[in-house]
Amino acid sequence: MARIIDEVSRTFSEYLLIPRLTSREHQPKNVSLKTPVSRFRRGEKPKFSINIPFVTSSMQSVSGSEMAIALARIGGLAFTFCSQTIEQQVAMVAKVKMHKAGFVQSDSNLRPDNTLADALALRKKSGHSTMPVTEDGSGNGTFVGILTDKDFWEFEDNLSGLVRDYMTPLASVVYGTSGITLHDANMLLRKHKKECLPILDNKCNLQSLVFKKDYFDHMNNPYELLDAQKRLAVGAGVNTHDYEARVPALIKAGADVLCFDSSDGYTEFQKDAILWCRKKYGDSVIVGGGNVVDGDAFRYLAEEGQADFVKVGIGGGSICITREQKGIGRGQASALMAVVAERDKYYNETGIYIPVCSDGGLSNDTQIIIALAMGADFVMMGRYFAMTYESPTPKVSIGGRMYKPYWGEGSNRARNWQRYNQGAESTENQLKFEEGVDAYVPIVGSVKDVTSVTLTKLRSTMCNMGSLNLKEFTDNAVLTRISEQSFVEGGTSTVTTLDKERPRDV
Ligand code: IMP
């Protein structure tokens, strides 16, 4: 006979936190949100941590390069999606890695005999206003000068004029030489009041560029998530079908963390795929698995699969219809608590800590806070990030408000990429039903603005709970279940609120 779990499936909105003693040191400015992403042994430090507990869903409508750059800047991690060709995903990862390295490989270069029209076209295409001029027009060619948007006026100068007549020639350029430290390069920029410093080798070949704006970006973003080479960190979703080709390509491109992306990760396919990564790369690869909703599945991926972290959640996603289509899933709070309990048990037994990620269904800041209080090491969100300027979809005006399209990875729209890349018959035969919908979400602001509101609330709640880090937050958390009536009591009551649009005189 089927086993019925006595406890009903619960969601985050059914819980509230009861404050603990707040001491004088419990102030938001003292709170650390750093959290592990990779497994580690008791007493050791995790190999990979993030500085805020937020990652993006590996979805077409959420995680492109722009999102990855914006999130890494403030300390989180984006998972570029795998529902695209390996080449496309590699290019996405490479773009994040190229974005800021202190020493940037120049990708917008001119020859001295190019015209100003060529320069203008390159500027528009690349978005870069500083363009090195090399003899052969390559990024490592012999450097002869530099052209910026200040050197010519698009509407005044004759655009058939040659770059060599407008550029600042080598003799007048301040440059650094190979081997210079980033600090010394920045100080040269400061001393000479320059925006960009070319770095040349002893044969005058261009090596890289150092920008003043990168220095300021870095100083303004103290939580930036960087790899060992000071490049922004980026994650990548992978799948159990083409991992033998996709994983090596992504690792070569510099992906810092991989995550197998599946609505149900309690499978031998996923265990085999993670173990394949372990065998090939040992502990140097950070690879997560999921999704799961109970302790058995967590232990399977942790123990047999050797996953670095495990993702929790089936059917709770805002665009997800898995529960109604297939009848599998679990209330997200119940799923998370079951997995966290097993994680802690596993840690006590083995001394190995496996971080847990709560994935999907977080529809407001309170739910994010409750998920972290319940023991999630970090949360993965789709809708939350789809609503920002940096998500990769175009703005759409509907009824006078601005929206962005947001669709599930299990929708026909997302699955369609295979139609063009793996031959028509593969999708035609496999696609039986959808597990996700195609929707719109309102635009709410930039990643930085939106997360800063949520993080301010999180830090404040952590202080209410007498905690200065996420581990203390979970350890101190006391949660109470709420009745429908106390839910009503929690909203505004016995007062009259004005509509946002006040009544107009008619
Ligand atoms: P959200 O943050 O509530 O929007 O949920 C995002 C999460 O939903 C993702 O991280 C995935 O785990 C999950 N998801 C993405 N696409 C689909 C789908 O098409 N069907 C079911 N779940 C999905």
DSSP β-ladder status, 287-292 and 257-260: parallel
> From the CA of 480, how far away is ligand 1's center (Å)?
27
pLDDT at site 500: 59
- Are 447 and 388 in contact, with CB atoms under 8 Å apart? yes
> From the CA of 382, how far away is ligand 1's center (Å)?
6
Q: What DSSP designation does 224 have? A: -
What is the full DSSP assignment across 109-170?
A: -B-TTSBHHHHHHHHHHH--SEEEEETTSSTTSBEEEEEETTS--TTTS-TTSBHHHHSEEG
> From the CA of 319, how far away is ligand 1's center (Å)?
6
Taking only the tens place, the pLDDT of each residue in 391-417 is 999 999 999 999 999 999 988 899 888
- Are 442 and 387 in contact, with CB atoms under 8 Å apart? yes
Regions in the chain scoring below 70 on pLDDT: 100-101, 419-431, 492-494, 497-506
Ligand 1 atom, smallest distance to 316 CA: 3
Mutation test residue for ligand 1: of 56, 291, 314, 409, the one with most atoms within 8 Å of CB: 409
DSSP β-ladder status, 49-50 and 35-36: antiparallel
Q: What is the dihedral of CA 90, 81, 244, 316, to 10 degrees?
A: 170
Q: What DSSP designation does 29 have? A: G
Of the candidates 385, 356, 386, 360, the residue with the CA atom closest to the CA atom of residue 372: 356
Among protein residues, the one whose CA lies closest to atom 13 of ligand 1: 317
Ligand 1 atom, smallest distance to 434 CA: 19
Q: Which of 111, 278, 323, 419 is catalytic?
A: 419
DSSP β-ladder status, 206-211 and 287-292: unpaired
- Are 266 and 300 in contact, with CB atoms under 8 Å apart? yes
Ligand 1 atom, smallest distance to 384 CA: 2
Vertex 224 angle, CA 223 and 226, to 5°? 130
Radius of gyration of the chain, Cα coordinates, nearest whole angstrom: 26
pLDDT at site 499: 63
pLDDT at site 395: 94
> From the CA of 344, how far away is ligand 1's center (Å)?
26
Q: Would you state the structure tokens that stand for residue 138, as one six-digit string?
A: 């390559």
> From the CA of 301, how far away is ligand 1's center (Å)?
20
> From the CA of 317, how far away is ligand 1's center (Å)?
4
For 475, the enclosing helix (H) or strand (E) is helix 470-476
Q: Would you state the structure tokens that stand for residue 182, as one six-digit string?
A: 């980033």
Among protein residues, the one whose CA lies closest to atom 7 of ligand 1: 360
Mutation test residue for ligand 1: of 57, 83, 322, 324, the one with most atoms within 8 Å of CB: 57
Mutation test residue for ligand 1: of 54, 239, 319, 435, the one with most atoms within 8 Å of CB: 319
pLDDT at site 419: 58
Q: Which of 82, 259, 320, 357 is catalytic?
A: 320
Residues 68-87 as b or e (16 or more Cβ within 10 Å = b): bbbbbbbbbbbbbbbbbbbe
Query: What whole-number distance in Å separates Cα of residue 19 and Cα of residue 61?
Result: 38
Q: What DSSP designation does 383 have? A: H
pLDDT at site 386: 97
Ligand 1 atom, smallest distance to 381 CA: 2
Among protein residues, the one whose CA lies closest to atom 10 of ligand 1: 57
CB-based pocket (< 6 A), ligand 1: 57, 59, 263, 291, 313, 317-320, 322, 359-362, 380-384, 408-411, 435-436
Is 320 annotated as catalytic?
Answer: yes
- H-type helices in 309-446, by residue range? 322-326, 332-350, 365-373, 383-386, 412-421, 424-430
pLDDT at site 474: 98
Cβ-based neighbour number of residue 471 at 10 Å: 15
Query: What whole-number distance in Å separates Cα of residue 351 and Cα of residue 345?
Result: 10
pLDDT at site 492: 66
Ligand 1 atom, smallest distance to 380 CA: 10
Residues 370-387 as b or e (16 or more Cβ within 10 Å = b): bbbbbbbbbbbbbbbbbb
> From the CA of 409, how far away is ligand 1's center (Å)?
7
Among protein residues, the one whose CA lies closest to atom 17 of ligand 1: 408
Ligand 1 atom, smallest distance to 311 CA: 12
Taking only the tens place, the pLDDT of each residue in 209-253 is 999 988 998 888 999 999 998 889 999 999 999 999 999 999 999
Is 196 annotated as catalytic?
Answer: no
> From the CA of 323, how far away is ligand 1's center (Å)?
12
Of the candidates 29, 41, 83, the residue with the CA atom closest to the CA atom of residue 61: 83
